Amino acid sequence: MKRIVILISGRGSNMEAILNARLPVQIAAVISNEPTAKGLATAQSHNIPTAVVPHRAFTDRETFDAALAMEINRYQANLIVLAGFMRVLTEEFVVRYLGRMINIHPSLLPSFTGLHTHQRALEAGVRLHGCTVHFVTPGLDSGPIIAQAAVPVLADDTEDTLAGRVLAEEHRIYPQAIRWLCEGRVKLADDTVVYADVATARGTLISPAFDDHL
């Protein structure tokens, strides 16, 4: 059974979705850079080991990343899952786990990398928005894409309503992507995502919807 380590910084809603999915994996540990992260208590309630590597205790990103890697390696993880982990990782750290570390980002990458994605989507006037599961590479939010989910942007959407609709899709596609990876049905090869026995999506999402008579 594959072992995964989940990294969080806050409430850990994606982590909780992963736990609730009851995947055929062993969640070896949940690690946070924030001692007060609410997700730590959630993990503990599931009898999952937790650890804190507080980034403010380190003088630079390099020393923090070295300490984080040391903690991760204690659990002999096959896969590192970033679930709302709000730290930019150094290239050396990312390369260490290349092909074994994934992230979920609240936009349809490559659009809207970085922060405040929902507000930026509203300001840009896009009619479709969503979320992306991708391999982590040294470039910010630029790794090869594993899966995406799209939602319509509604005329009366606010940042909060749009974020809530996207988050619901995050909770669906992240556990599925982890399952594929741990079952060997998805892998990274030469910067390309390779699928085995993964169905091709059918159908089209159009926003706003076409009139019924067309």
pLDDT in tens, 21-64: 999 999 999 999 999 999 999 999 999 999 999 999 999 999 99
Domains located in the chain, CATH noted: 3-195 (3.40.50.170)
Q: How confident is the model at residue 202 (pLDDT cuts 50, 70, 90)?
A: confident
Q: In this predicted structure, what is the pLDDT of residue 165?
A: 98
pLDDT in tens, 107-133: 999 999 999 999 999 999 999 999 999
Q: Is the pLDDT of residue 214 over 60?
A: no
pLDDT in tens, 83-105: 999 999 999 999 999 999 999 99
Q: What rounded mean pLDDT belongs to the chain?
A: 96
**Catalytic positions:** 105
Largest CA distance in the chain: 63
